[in-house]
Chains A and B, each alone.
Chain A
Amino acid sequence: AQSVTQLGSHVSVSEGALVLLRCNYSSSVPPYLFWYVQYPNQGLQLLLKYTSAATLVKGINGFEAEFKKSETSFHLTKPSAHMSDAAEYFCAVSYSGNTPLVFGKGTRLSVIA
């Protein structure tokens, strides 16, 4: 069965520090991978998605993620955290045409001034 593991339910960083949110997937076939962000009391918004065109994917708000097949990982990074980045982040995977996404449990990012 498809699954996504997000390491760390809560990550705390200082403003200006590197953000690294980890995501690993289980797969025997190439997946399609997504990162979504959820701000408090809101729905989910797409940050970026991997569609096999390039292993390094750039998204909105300065975030990017790198697909590493050998490590079955799709970690999300941002060079410099901003207070407005505080939110919950979800990694999700899909394996075939327009099938529903399977979500990880989420990582809550806190940014300390």
Chain B
Amino acid sequence: NAGVTQTPKFRILKIGQSMTLQCTQDMNHNYMYWYRQDPGMGLKLIYYSVGAGITDKGEVPNGYNVSRSTTEDFPLRLELAAPSQTSVYFCASSSGLAEGSTDTQYFGPGTRLTVL
């Protein structure tokens, strides 16, 4: 049981390039999330999904796109990378079955992205 896995671990992009950050979970969780973490700013939600085929914007969605074609995978697409997208990106998942908001989110190890 690997939990939440993310690839790549590190990536350097040039301004204007595109890339996809991969996220896979093997816990059969319904809910998946993408956050970015910037120094001293905590985590900010980019997009989330409550199930295959359903996605919604978070606090900072501009410059990103997502899709959810399967329960397991939730890739994050960066189009036209900009220096402001330099950050550490975390994917998380939760079962979506717990009562209220008591559900625990499980986090992947992160992808460190630098845009130069």
> A: which residues have CB within 8 A of B?
9, 32, 36, 41-46, 49, 51, 90, 94-106
Contacts and interface: CB of A to CB of B under 8 A. Distances in A.
B74 interface: no
Given A98-B98, A100-B33, A103-B43, 10 more contacts: A32-B100, A32-B101, A41-B110, A42-B110, A43-B90, A43-B107, A101-B43, A103-B44, A106-B40, A106-B42
Interface of B: 4, 31, 33, 35, 40-45, 48, 50, 58, 90, 92, 94, 96, 98-105, 107-110
A10 to B, nearest CB: 10
B4 A51 contact: no
B76 to A, nearest CB: 15
Among B42, B90, B96, B104: residue with most chain A CB under 10 A: B42
Contacts, number: 64
Given A32-B100, A51-B100, A100 B58 contact: yes
B92 to A, nearest CB: 8
Nearest to B98: A98
B104 A46 contact: yes
Contacts of B98: 98
Contacts of B31: 98
Contact of B50 (A51, A96, A98, A105): A98
Contact of B100 (A9, A42, A97): A97
B48 A103 contact: no
Contacts of B94: 98
Those 3 A-B pairs whose CB atoms lie nearest each other, nearest first: A43-B107, A94-B101, A32-B101
Given A32-B101, A43-B4, A46-B104, A98 B109 contact: no
Among B35, B41, B101: residue with most chain A CB under 10 A: B101
B33 A103 contact: no
A43 B43 contact: no
Given A43-B109, A100-B33, A9 B40 contact: yes
A96 B99 CA distance: 10
A105 B41 contact: yes
